[in-house]
Amino acid sequence: MGMMFAQNPKKLVRPLVQELHAYVPGEQPKIKGLIKLNTNENPYPPSPKVFAAVKAATDGRFRLYPNPTAQLLREKLAKLHGCKAENIIVGNGSDELLALATRAFVEPSVGKRSGQHASTIQFFSPSYSLYPVLAAIHGARTNIVALDKDFGIPPLPVLKKSKAWDFRAALTYVTTPNAPSGRGYSTAELEALCRAQSGVIILDEAYVDFGDENAMKLALKYPNVIVARTFSKAYSLCFQRVGYFVGHPTLIAALDKIRDSYNVNGLGQVAALATLEDLSYYRANFRRIIGTRERLSRELTALGFTVLPSQTNFILARPPRFPAKDWLERLRARKILVRWFKYPAVRDFVRITIGTDVEADALLRVSKGILKVGEWVSG
Ligand code: PMP
């Protein structure tokens, strides 16, 4: 019989993990009649073809492993983007791939003597709040540089002069269009940044279908550029967890080496393939969502709210006269869920996902009521 030790289980966990602040996803409460505008989900369901394909796949094949490389899906995506299947890796949501990129491209600094081999993960602030968590999990050094006051990427000469930006960072994430501001960036300015960067740069285009332009061509032109896409937002498929990267075959092969063997589940592959069979259905949804976004922005502005221009399926809006957090809480009391971020640059705003027109009307109606109460209190 071996010796028994009384263990404090906390001591079994790596210090890095003990101290980690985990990513906090938006809530998914089950409240009847809730208007859910907090996690940038699409208000419209997937195409009927997706449901038909998923139902047809619900059979004896469940006992078998799915295709390990999502081969058919990668071939179809390659056709769509005018590249080869070797340019594409599919993940369990783009989040999985964003995490894999840290392991493939960045030397962690934790545990390395004198940090000699440490390399840097870099991103702008504010941007997708997962990036700092991924860097912390990996034990990488981070370099975080502020966007300018309108959430623009500072022009190259400004970045060069400020010395804050690291043109040699091992991995740079750029959320484009930006989240949580909704601001879009031109392909020309992104190209200038990509050319100046010696490390890997991931253009995270999670919301790009709601914008004016995309930067896919840069992933096929520069060996250090990866474009990240997801089926979650524009293609109404959060539940199935499918995202992908497009980039140079050498970078894609590196990610492919270290992913789980069956990282994309079978129904996810089926659903994503069927999605690509019905793109015109989704394009009609983009147009509807953009229409609702523009109307909601106009009407909130008319009520006195400050609304930032958006190239995404959400808007940032700042209430007149009362704090953003109050607006969020009062909306919540009326079963409308929106999101608030504590970063200084956006704490005066709430982020509203664009839902249906009926949902936009409800938000406007309740917000008008809140404004009236506000006047009564302050008057
Ligand atoms: N990038 C950005 C900017 C996002 O907002 C999200 C969704 N939270 C993702 C990537 C990840 O999406 P998914 O993992 O669902 O593909």
Q: What's residue 373's pLDDT? A: 75
| Residue 306, SS3 per DSSP | strand
Mean of pLDDT values over 20-34 = 89
- Mutation choice for ligand 1 from 90, 176, 204, 208, CB with most ligand atoms inside 8 A: 204
Residue nearest atom 4 in ligand 1 by C-alpha distance: 206
Question: Tens of pLDDT along 30-66?
Answer: 888 999 999 999 999 999 999 999 999 999 889 999 9
For helices 130-138 and 94-105, the axis angle rounded to 10 degrees is: 40
- Mutation choice for ligand 1 from 97, 129, 130, CB with most ligand atoms inside 8 A: 130
Residue for token digits 């964003």?
A: 98
Q: What's residue 379's pLDDT? A: 36
> 202 CB less than 6 Å from ligand 1?
no
State in Å: Cα 31 to ligand 1 middle: 24
Amino acid identity of residue 256, one-letter, is D
Q: Which domains are delineated in the chain?
A: 13-46+280-373 (3.90.1150.10), 48-279 (3.40.640.10)
Checking if the pLDDT of 378 tops 70, the result is no
Q: What's residue 110's pLDDT? A: 53
> 314 CB less than 6 Å from ligand 1?
no
Taking the CA of residue 230 as reference, the ligand 1 atom at the shortest distance is 16
Q: What's residue 112's pLDDT? A: 52
Q: Which residues pair with 315 in a beta bridge?
A: 352
> 204 CB less than 6 Å from ligand 1?
yes
Tokens for 187?
A: 């392909």
The answer to whether residues 113 and 148 touch, using CB atoms and an 8 Å cutoff, is no
- Mutation choice for ligand 1 from 96, 123, 233, 314, CB with most ligand atoms inside 8 A: 233
State in Å: Cα 128 to ligand 1 middle: 8
Taking the CA of residue 238 as reference, the ligand 1 atom at the shortest distance is 15
> 94 CB less than 6 Å from ligand 1?
yes
What pTM value is reported for the model?
0.94
For helices 324-333 and 357-378, the axis angle rounded to 10 degrees is: 120
Tokens for 96?
A: 């999985």
- The vertex-59 CA angle with 58 and 61, nearest 5°, equals 105
How many CB atoms are located within 10 Å of the residue 40 CB? 22
Question: Tens of pLDDT along 87-99?
Answer: 999 999 999 999 9
CB burial of 54-89 (b: ≥16 within 10 Å; e: otherwise) equals beebeeeeeeeebeebbeebbebbbeebebebebbb
> 205 CB less than 6 Å from ligand 1?
no
What is the distance between the terminal CA atoms of the chain, rounded to a whole angstrom? 78
Mean of pLDDT values over 362-369 = 95
> 128 CB less than 6 Å from ligand 1?
yes
Contacts of 138 (CB under 8 A, 6+ apart): 102, 103, 106, 108, 121
